[in-house]
Amino acid sequence: MLHPYQIFDTYLTDPVLPIANGAGVALVDTDGNEYIDAVGGMWCTNIGLGRDEMAQAIAVQARDLAYSNPFTDMTNVASVRLAERLAELAPGNLNRVFFTCGGSTANDAALRLIQYYWGVRGQPQRRHILSRADSYHGTTIATISLGGKAADRVPEFNYLTDDFHHLSSPNAYRYANGRNDQQFADDLVDELIAKVDSLGGPEHIAALFAEPVMGAGGVIPPPADYLQRIWRYCRDNEILFVADEVVTAFGRLGEWFASESLFGITPDIITCAKGLTSGYLPLGAASFSDEIFDVISEQGHGRYFAVGYTYSGHPVSCTAALKNIEIIEREGILDHVKAVGPYFMEQLETLADLPMVGDVRGSHLMGCVEFVADRDTKRNYPDEVGVGKRVSNEADKLGLIVRPIDNLNVMSPPLVISHAEVDAIVARLREAILAARAQLEAEGL
């Protein structure tokens, strides 16, 4: 099995962790060892693992209708009901839904929807797409090119460069350089305006993609009013604004969708996946506005939207999403996140007293600890040291799973996590950091 993001230097020597089962926030390996999954699978096991009613709903739907053709003139009841439910939950008039297989394909479909929209409107010169450094939007050839994570740009691959343009990262810890939050936001907005002008003005810009809180790029909350201002600039200049909520939607920040509720923006398109089914089955979606739909349907005569997947609107996946939404609503999980999320961040911040912890950041149940060799200068450990992986390896030994990304440990625990489990995460992570630090000191690093 070739794993996603396989590191070939270590795959024959470093053991993999074989998971046998899981329940709630816990995973159990094939030797019976139990772990707190502080990563929530891959930002996705929102309602927790091992839910009997989820398994039952999936089983019933698989017996009744395991699959039906989603193309053109056929549908299934579960996908229609889920589309209606997403339209109810999404902000503004994002009442139209295109179903995909996950987050990458949701963003890929959004890109093609944007191209189609401007083509139908007779403005094909609007081909430039804006994103940010440190962003992550998926791993298709289009979405990996759209993303701005330097670590994803490996020399063996070719990337699309003509139409994708990256603005600066909003990571204040790394790039504010003495500016306060508002000054940093001001400069980022000015950079956007200058970039648009350099590309020929707004009439050449198709869309801007932005995660409300960046995920895989390092859990980066936006500074001050930056996010609202770039959305407002896009709205005023007819640039489509896409909120990539693949991570942040369905409760990760205590809301169904974070864009409007937390940041006061109403995007033209919202993409989602992960928490949509809490990881029980693969599913993604791109919700888009009535205005976009009206253009492509009313002005699209003689054309067709040539985008589709065999598993678009898969009835079993859509049933899992409907049951997931029902559970989140019935159990008041959004309110639980609003209570436990701030506690999670407060407890993580207690790690800031450790010498190798440079920054602790995040929001609600998205957290990140950044490790540095020198706190005063923010100097990183060399890449070959693998400091994030060293800490996560020590955490594994203590029954804690965190996600290493370069010099970071990223966490996104299931939304049902308790205050006591938060305490256990932070205590074990502290011990893991101290153990890794001792290793580094012993090696003269």
- Distance separating alpha carbons of residues 436 and 422, to the nearest angstrom: 21
CA 386 remoteness from chain centre: 23
Helix (H) or strand (E) holding 207: strand 205-210
List, in order, residues 6 or more apart from 391 with CB less than 8 Å away: 371, 402, 404, 409, 429, 432, 433, 436
Is beta strand 164-167 parallel, antiparallel or unpaired with respect to 26-29?
A: unpaired
Q: How far apart are the first and last CA of the chain?
A: 34
Look at residue 12 in the predicted model and tell me its pLDDT: 78
- Distance separating alpha carbons of residues 82 and 72, to the nearest angstrom: 18
Look at residue 303 in the predicted model and tell me its pLDDT: 84
- Specify whether the CB–CB gap between 167 and 133 falls below 8 A: yes
Look at residue 140 in the predicted model and tell me its pLDDT: 97
Look at residue 267 in the predicted model and tell me its pLDDT: 98
- Specify whether the CB–CB gap between 128 and 118 falls below 8 A: no
- Specify whether the CB–CB gap between 287 and 273 falls below 8 A: no
- Distance separating alpha carbons of residues 437 and 217, to the nearest angstrom: 24
Look at residue 302 in the predicted model and tell me its pLDDT: 82
Which of 427, 436, 421, 402 has its CA nearest to residue 348?
427
pLDDT by residue for the chain (445 residues), tens only, comes to 888 998 888 777 878 899 999 999 999 999 999 999 999 999 999 999 999 999 999 999 999 999 999 998 999 999 999 999 999 999 999 999 999 999 999 999 999 999 999 999 999 999 999 999 999 999 999 999 999 999 999 999 999 999 999 999 999 999 999 999 999 999 999 999 999 999 999 999 999 999 999 999 999 999 999 999 999 999 999 999 999 999 999 999 999 999 999 999 999 999 999 999 999 999 999 999 999 999 999 886 788 899 999 999 999 999 999 999 999 999 999 999 999 999 999 999 999 999 999 999 999 999 999 999 999 999 999 999 999 999 999 999 999 999 999 999 999 999 999 999 999 999 999 999 999 999 999 999 8
Look at residue 274 in the predicted model and tell me its pLDDT: 98
